[in-house]
Amino acid sequence: MIKKIRLTLIFLLIKVFIPGVLMAQVAITGIITDSDDQSTLPGVTILEKNTGIGAITDIDGKYNITVPKDAVLVFSFVGYKQQEIPVGTQTVINVVLEKQIELLDEVIVIGYGVQKKSDKTGAVAQVKAEEMSGGVITDAIQALQGRTAGVLITKKGGDPNEGYAVRIRGASGFDSNTQPLYVVDGVPGVDPTTVAPEDIETFNILKDAASSAIYGSRGSNGVIIITTKRGKVDNFTVQLNMKVSADQVASKLDLLSASDIRNYAQGLLEEAQIENPQYTIDSVFNDGGANTDWQDEIFRTGITQSYNLNFSGGTENNSYYASITHANWEGVMEGTSKVRTIAKINVTQKGLNDKLTLSGNLSGTFENNDYENYDGWDKDDILYQAFSRNPTDPVYNEDGSYYETTRVFNYQNPIAIINEVDNTRDAKRFLGNLKADLELFDGLIASANVGYTRDDQESYYFRPNGLIDNGYGKREYKNTTQKLIEVTGNYTKSINEKHNVNALLGYSWQESVYEGFFAQARDAQSEYLASNNMQALIDLQYGDIDSWKGMWRLIGFFGRVQYNYKNKYYLSGSLRRDGSSKFGANNQWGWFPTVAIGWDLQKEAWWSEMFPWFDQFKWRASYGVSGNQEIGEYKSQLVFQNAGLTVDPETGKDVVTFTNPWNANPDLKWEETTEYNVGLDFAVLKSRVSGSLEVYFKNTKDLLGQFSVPKPPNLSDKTWGNSGELQNRGIELFVQSYVIEKSNLKWKTMFNISHNKSKILDLGDFYTEGSSVRKEGYISGRGMVGDEYYVIGIIEGEELGSFYLPVYVTMIDGKFVYKSETGGYTDNLSEAKREIVGTASPDLEIGWSNTFTLFKNWDLDISFRSMIGNDVYNATESFFDNPDLPSLNASPSALDWEEQGRVSGSTVMDIYVEDGSFVRLDYLALGYNFNTKKIAPVKNLKIYFASNNLFTITGYSGIDPETKIDGVAFGIDQYNVYPKTRTFTFGINATF
């Protein structure tokens, strides 16, 4: 009976409720078109509001979706205005989407806040994820290369373990770090290599002092703010990005072949036989009997694999984004590689009726590096050994052992070094921060941000017995932790929609603690476990064990006020007071003020009537003071350094002695940069064309450095202090245009060009002792040892990066002859007169990127990059044109010098300075987007082929005209630089 009653109730429930549910559902179909040309739009997202139910239009712009009658459909597509349509009784809903080029309403990230792009008064540039460079990216900063005016990004060669140098509006110092400050998700000082490029939402670059001075003592070199992706409301998404690449050496060094060497040796033999017919080839040359291309032996095609998987989603109250990225870069030099895994999660939670927002970020980076030494001229430096090694030498003996020559001292088999030497590093990095935003009352938000970073690195080096020497091992551990606490209050108020005010007050506390341990030894008795078995190395000398620990602390108080009237007239100002433990007791605190104004003429009736095609024509001007504290710790204090052992005359025992590496200086203070900036932001034709023009004047004084002082009366002959003055002046132009917006063809282009000149106004105490200039850019190897082998002079009144060299006149009796200081001529390099014969700084830096959409499914990306007017010192040629034949290899020009009877060795002089201007096809990619209508649950699927560094147009005779521009010694094409690569990539991007 009970069972019958139960069945009857179930039947009644089904009769009552199921038909209602079925009747409440309605199948909707429709077509989405473009308002301009009525073309259909594939890939439009249709979502039922406040649910995860959705659909995407097919290649013909059609869609179908089943939802309740009371549902609201949300139609959205990149570059178009979003629409919301109630379903009601409709079964066919055709939608016409209007284009939305809302460049002026875009939000940019500034220090401790955000603002509309149209409201900015400083020089702030933004690069979005879709605008970044593609292909093989070993460093997130690489994705910015060529994308922003005034931001010069370079790298020394193509080593996957080598980092990028960034210079924003020229150099702002000599001995201090001139790299910008990186801020990742609100945490300053984060290493950008710990951020996966696929996780980045935007880069925001603060270029002028009015923008960067909110970070006070760390803003003088510019600030790059990296914002990572977060989940979107009502949009659960899974993305999978995969790519595999092949790297090849873009250009090899032109050296003599084995047959060239043998022909040269035969010529020597014929000359020798004139005096003694009994001479044989063995009398003049030890021929190894091989035809070895040592560049082919040490270089390879490097294979790179990269995988990124991320999940994101959210509701009105919370959102999340989680990703894991794994990449394996195989360098083009044998023995070099990098493996990196980055895991990340971002979460946001709202509460207290949306008055409280909690945001959390966690990321971990795990990296393993395999290195080869190559940037010197020691026994284990691969490039020096391979380039110099005679091509008649074989790689192996007949018994399989490594072939070693006795022809020349100090030259080793590079393949043996690559295969037998262990040189690795393991790194683990962690970043976490938690931010709370609480709306106290309408317009006032109090925020607290707590951050923590930790960086653990362990390095290993082991060279076995019998290779070069009797064995050597080294192990090093380093750890750095940083803690951050920041509290801010942000008030926003609009009065009568005319007076708009934003005010910020804040406090920042940051501490960095570092420590490390180092041990090395020689004479390996066993190779078992290599550097993990250090006790097997029995030759332990003084100084082979070391340890250290240190810290620095920075405290800041800051405020900012931004005001505009009717979004027409703008006024803003900020002030920061920083205290740093790095500086002397008399100058630990510094003030960093800014002020900026703006005027959007397009909001004036008289202007808009005269020029109705303008959407924006905004002038702005700013003034700001920022600082630089990027030197080592304890430079203002008297420190004691272990100076070795000495014998106590009373006891006869060894005792440890100490020395002072520098004197105390209680007046050591900030480098200070003052900058004036005038800018124009413009947009025309409904923002189809937009851009900005900037002119700036930047002056840096009280440069940080180490100077020579008399001893006595000082305890040390070195002191850290402030001296000198450096000026940067420049102009920048950025233009973005949606050139073509048709159904079957879209073309977006971005162009930037900039000019900067750095001038030394006052050298101060930075001169090299015994000279009126500061000598930089020393060249070494093949007899070039000594104070006279430098190529760059830091000279008061001249440009930074000036090549200051002896001027070659002729060759007499095989010796180079130069102009002399006395007005005559000399063959003694130390007596030669030096002149400025060029500059490494480019006159123009240019970037041009283009994105094409073809026939709805195809897309094409093309990016060019160029430097114009920069000179390069071809140190490679000066090194290898020395006819040290036939023992060592050389460049073909060495034979020309030999015919002229050259006896002078390798040297430095003006004839090695060349024009380094170039135009490079930086990136080319062709992609196809599939129609995923029938590939459920795939929402988007794209495959693409790409190439980096496809070709370079240049008149430079060396391997590559682009050098790493960092510090003060740049523009030198060294013989021992890891070669640049040409990369070919196949990738797949899928969204579910």
What are the pLDDT digits (tens) for 886-940?
A: 888 999 999 999 889 999 999 999 999 999 999 999 999 999 999 887 787 898 9
Are residues 110 and 222 located together in one domain of the fold?
Answer: yes
- Give the mean model confidence (pLDDT) for residues 301-324: 95
Per-residue pLDDT reduced to its tens digit, 714-773: 999 999 999 999 999 999 999 999 999 887 899 999 999 999 999 999 999 888 877 889
**Per-residue pLDDT band at 5 (split at 50, 70, 90):** very low
Of 200, 230, 260, the one marking the end of a domain is: 230
Q: Indicate whether 18 pLDDT > 50.
A: no
Are residues 112 and 199 located together in one domain of the fold?
Answer: yes
pTM above the 0.85 mark?
yes
Give the residue, 152 or 529, on which the prediction is more confident.
152
Specify the pLDDT at position 470: 81
**Per-residue pLDDT band at 15 (split at 50, 70, 90):** very low
Q: Indicate whether 672 pLDDT > 50.
A: yes
**Per-residue pLDDT band at 673 (split at 50, 70, 90):** very high
- Give the mean model confidence (pLDDT) for residues 982-990: 96
Q: Where are the beta strands (DSSP E) in 250-386?
A: 302-314, 318-330, 337-351, 356-370
Q: Indicate whether 191 pLDDT > 70.
A: yes
Of 175, 198, 230, the one marking the end of a domain is: 230
Distance, in Å, from the CA atom of 319 to the CA atom of 357, rounded to the nearest integer, reads 11
Specify the pLDDT at position 134: 64
Distance, in Å, from the CA atom of 34 to the CA atom of 467, rounded to the nearest integer, reads 70
Specify the pLDDT at position 2: 47
Specify the pLDDT at position 21: 43
Distance, in Å, from the CA atom of 692 to the CA atom of 734, rounded to the nearest integer, reads 5
Cis peptide leading into residue 886 (ω within 30°): yes
**Per-residue pLDDT band at 42 (split at 50, 70, 90):** confident
Domain of residue 180 covers 103-230
Q: Indicate whether 50 pLDDT > 50.
A: yes
Distance, in Å, from the CA atom of 901 to the CA atom of 907, rounded to the nearest integer, reads 16
Specify the pLDDT at position 13: 42
Give the residue, 336 or 646, on which the prediction is more confident.
336
CATH of the domain at 108: 2.170.130.10
Per-residue pLDDT reduced to its tens digit, 222-232: 999 999 999 98
Distances (CA, A) of 951 to 586, 809, 867: 55, 36, 14
How large a percentage of the chain has pLDDT more than 70?
A: 95
Residue 869 dihedral angles phi and psi, to the nearest 5° = 90, 5
Per-residue pLDDT reduced to its tens digit, 760-804: 999 998 888 778 899 999 998 888 888 899 999 999 999 999 999
Residue pair 752/847 in contact by the 8 Å Cβ criterion: yes
452 belongs to a structural domain: no
Per-residue pLDDT reduced to its tens digit, 499-529: 999 999 999 999 999 999 999 988 877 776 6
- Give the mean model confidence (pLDDT) for residues 348-354: 94
Q: Indicate whether 12 pLDDT > 70.
A: no
Per-residue pLDDT reduced to its tens digit, 591-600: 999 999 999 9
Specify the pLDDT at position 101: 61
Distance, in Å, from the CA atom of 644 to the CA atom of 661, rounded to the nearest integer, reads 13
Average pLDDT, the chain: 90
3-state secondary structure 669-733: CCEEEEEEEEEEEEEECCCCEEEEEEEEEEEEEEEEEEEECCCCCCCCCEEEEEEEEEEEEEEEE
Of 54, 80, 97, the one marking the end of a domain is: 97
Specify the pLDDT at position 530: 66
Residue 691: both structure tokens together = 């851009």
Residue pair 41/30 in contact by the 8 Å Cβ criterion: no
CB-based contacts of 586: which residues, under 8 Å, 6+ apart?
A: 666, 667, 669
- Give the mean model confidence (pLDDT) for residues 606-617: 93
Q: Indicate whether 111 pLDDT > 70.
A: yes
174 belongs to a structural domain: yes
197 belongs to a structural domain: yes
Q: Indicate whether 162 pLDDT > 80.
A: yes
Per-residue pLDDT reduced to its tens digit, 130-149: 887 666 677 889 889 999 99
Are residues 107 and 190 located together in one domain of the fold?
Answer: yes
- Give the mean model confidence (pLDDT) for residues 538-553: 88
Are residues 158 and 201 located together in one domain of the fold?
Answer: yes
**Torsion sign, CA atoms 56, 57, 58, 62:** positive
130 belongs to a structural domain: yes
Distances (CA, A) of 106 to 102, 119, 169, 183: 6, 10, 25, 20
Paired sense of beta strands 802-806 and 834-839, if any: antiparallel
**Residue whose entry in the numeric block shows the structure tokens 């050098």:** 963
CB-based contacts of 17: which residues, under 8 Å, 6+ apart?
A: none
Per-residue pLDDT reduced to its tens digit, 70-105: 899 999 886 678 899 999 889 999 999 987 666 667
Total tally of structural domains belonging to the chain: 2
Are residues 223 and 142 located together in one domain of the fold?
Answer: yes
Q: Which amino acid is located at 876 in the chain? A: T
Ramachandran category for residue 532: left, alpha or beta (phi over 0 → left; psi -120 to 50 → alpha): alpha
Q: Indicate whether 161 pLDDT > 50.
A: yes
Specify the pLDDT at position 85: 94
846 belongs to a structural domain: no
Query: For residue 732, which of 150, 126, 220 has the smallest C-alpha distance?
Result: 150
Are residues 92 and 114 located together in one domain of the fold?
Answer: no
Q: Which amino acid is located at 63 in the chain? A: Y
Distances (CA, A) of 390 to 148, 185, 252, 959: 45, 53, 16, 20
Specify the pLDDT at position 766: 87
Quickly count: other Cβ atoms within 10 Å of residue 984's Cβ: 17
Specify the pLDDT at position 39: 75
Residue 821 dihedral angles phi and psi, to the nearest 5° = -65, -25
Distance, in Å, from the CA atom of 184 to the CA atom of 296, rounded to the nearest integer, reads 41
CB-based contacts of 97: which residues, under 8 Å, 6+ apart?
A: 32, 33, 34, 35, 41, 44, 75, 77, 80, 81, 83
Distance, in Å, from the CA atom of 377 to the CA atom of 686, rounded to the nearest integer, reads 59
Residue by residue, DSSP assigns 800-831 as: TTEEEEEPEEEEETTEEEEEBTTSSEES-GGG
Distance, in Å, from the CA atom of 922 to the CA atom of 439, rounded to the nearest integer, reads 47
Q: Which of 608-622, 661-675, 875-889 has the lowest mean pLDDT?
A: 875-889
Specify the pLDDT at position 852: 95
- Give the mean model confidence (pLDDT) for residues 602-616: 93
Are residues 115 and 76 located together in one domain of the fold?
Answer: no
How large a percentage of the chain has pLDDT more than 90?
A: 69
226 belongs to a structural domain: yes
Query: How remote is the C-alpha of 281 from its chain's centroid?
Result: 53
- Give the mean model confidence (pLDDT) for residues 824-834: 95
Q: Indicate whether 235 pLDDT > 90.
A: no
29 belongs to a structural domain: yes
Residue 723: both structure tokens together = 């001296």
Are residues 54 and 108 located together in one domain of the fold?
Answer: no
Specify the pLDDT at position 24: 66
Quickly count: other Cβ atoms within 10 Å of residue 686's Cβ: 12
Are residues 93 and 115 located together in one domain of the fold?
Answer: no
Per-residue pLDDT reduced to its tens digit, 942-954: 999 999 999 999 9
Specify the pLDDT at position 16: 40
Q: Which of 80-84, 237-241, 635-639 has the lowest mean pLDDT?
A: 80-84
89 belongs to a structural domain: yes
**Per-residue pLDDT band at 280 (split at 50, 70, 90):** confident
Are residues 132 and 184 located together in one domain of the fold?
Answer: yes
Are residues 122 and 207 located together in one domain of the fold?
Answer: yes
Instruction: Say whether 282 sits in a helix, a strand or coil.
Output: helix
Are residues 174 and 205 located together in one domain of the fold?
Answer: yes
Query: For residue 481, which of 509, 450, 515 has the smallest C-alpha distance?
Result: 515
